[in-house]
Amino acid sequence: MLRRKTLKNLTRLFTSSLAPLMPSRPRRSKASPAKALPAAQRVRTRAKTAPARSSGGRWLWGVAVAPAGKRRYRLFLPAGRLPGQRIPVVVMLHGCDQNAARFAASTRMHLIAARAGFAVLYPEQDRLANPNGCWNWYETRTQRAFAEAALVLQAVEQVCTLYGGDRTRVAIAGLSAGAGMAALVAARYPERFQAVAMHSGVPPGTAHSTASALRAMAGHGATDALAATPDAMLAHWPALLVIQGGQDRVVAPRNGAAAALAWAQAAQALPGEARAVQRGKRHAMRVTDYRVRQRTMATLVEIPALGHAWSGGAATQAYGDPDGPDASRLVWAFAQRQFARRR
């Protein structure tokens, strides 16, 4: 019973989103009326749930099957691909209270893909595996997290085998619970990815159960050392991009710096001087690169005015802040640099 209540608290925390200008009233938990948690807040109203249409490609549904079960995915393929041509793949893992279509509509990564010529894979968590649609990134003791990581990798394999994805140019990104799963997948299969991006997530190795996940989200978890030597990090591990909002009330802002630092320390990379960047009227950001042997192993992007939302996300979607820097463009630009370095 205690574990069930803790899990409900975890999923409610993950499905909360910050609306700094319009704070909502707290709602009571049906499971525990005396212990009310913050209501799920929206940065913008959810008017559409289907991805924005693009004349530059086509959408497909697929199913990844592994010993642990199966997961559906939504795949965008750009138009104009030549016969036999291999194209880059960007994997996008949604957060709680989202699915593949909603995350695609919020991030609009496929619109960038239509112009740049890469595939976008949106795996979807099964509601039977988590009633709130959260990826179970923290369930490492029970092996559930590893099973879901294997399903995500199987979806990548199908895209590369059936639809022309280039195995040497694959990046993975996620929001919140999706960020935790993206880091886990990349740490479990580092040779399969060239770049990984965590948006509003918890550092890898911080949580191993529901209770430790709650502590980690609050910024009180201790990050385990990554299972790699500095030489292995440089040779096989993907570079990490971390995007974190300073007004995040769901995942403590300190988690962003902790994630970048853990990745950098495993490679013995050192931080450079932070630089301030602002584009037009969008929220300002502070960018820090961690480098070793002329290679950037981690980049931390801190956005002080951003809450728990995809930076630059569509105004019509929950968990998106259209006033933030375009995180989708940041992820693709970061991935491009890593692809070019490996070629």
Q: Please, what is the Cα angle at 266 between 220 and 166, to 5 degrees?
A: 110
**Alpha helix (H) residue ranges in the chain:** 2-14, 100-107, 109-116, 144-162, 177-188, 210-217, 230-236, 254-266, 327-342
Q: Are 259 and 242 in contact (CB under 8 A)?
A: yes
The torsion of the CA quartet 209, 212, 216, 220, rounded to 10 degrees, works out to -160
**The one catalytic residue among 16, 54, 176, 200:** 176
Residue 24 annotated as catalytic: no
The tokens describing 133, both together, are: 């649609």
Tell the residue number behind the tokens 């640099």, with chain if given.
Answer: 337
318/315 Cα distance (integer angstroms): 8
Hey, CA dihedral for 276, 279, 280, 282, is it positive or negative? negative
Give the Cα separation of 100 and 206 in Å (integer). 26
Task: Determine how β-strand 285-292 pairs with β-strand 195-199.
Answer: unpaired
Residue 175 identity: L
Total count of residues recorded for the chain? 343
Q: What angle do CA 212, 215, 220 make, to 5 degrees?
A: 120
Residue 174 identity: G
Compute the distance between CA of residue 36 and CA of residue 52 in angstroms, rounded to an integer. 36
Q: Is 31 helix (H, G, I), strand (E, B) or coil?
A: coil
Catalytic residue set = 176
